[in-house]
Amino acid sequence: MQTTLQRAAGALRQALYPATCMMCDARVQEDADGGGLCPACWADTPFLSGACCDLCGTPLPGQDDGPIHCDDCMTLARPWDEGRAALAYAGTARRLVLALKHGDRTELARGAGGWMHRRARGLLTAETVFVPVPVHRWRLLRRRYNQAALLAADVARRAGGTFAPTTLVRHRRTPSQDHRSVADRFANVAGAIRPGPRADVAGRHVALVDDVMTSGATLAACANVLRQAGAARITVLILARVAKDR
Q: What is the pLDDT of residue 57?
A: 93
- Bridge partners, 87 (sequence order): 47, 240
Length of the chain: 246
pLDDT of residue 191: 87
Per-residue tens of pLDDT for the chain, all 246 residues? 457 765 655 455 555 566 889 888 788 876 655 568 899 999 999 999 889 999 999 999 877 777 899 999 999 989 999 999 999 999 999 999 999 999 999 999 999 999 999 999 999 999 999 999 999 888 888 889 999 999 999 999 999 999 999 999 998 888 677 778 888 888 888 888 999 987 899 999 999 999 999 999 999 999 999 999 999 999 999 999 997 654
What is the pTM assigned to this prediction? 0.88
Distance in angstroms (rounded) separating the CA atoms of residues 234 and 217: 15
What pLDDT does 246 receive? 43
* DSSP secondary structure of 171-219: -S-----TT--HHHHHHHHTT-EEE-TT---TT-EEEEEEEEESSSHHH
Q: Could you give the C-alpha distances from 165 to 104, 107, 170, 208, in angstroms and in order?
A: 19, 18, 12, 10
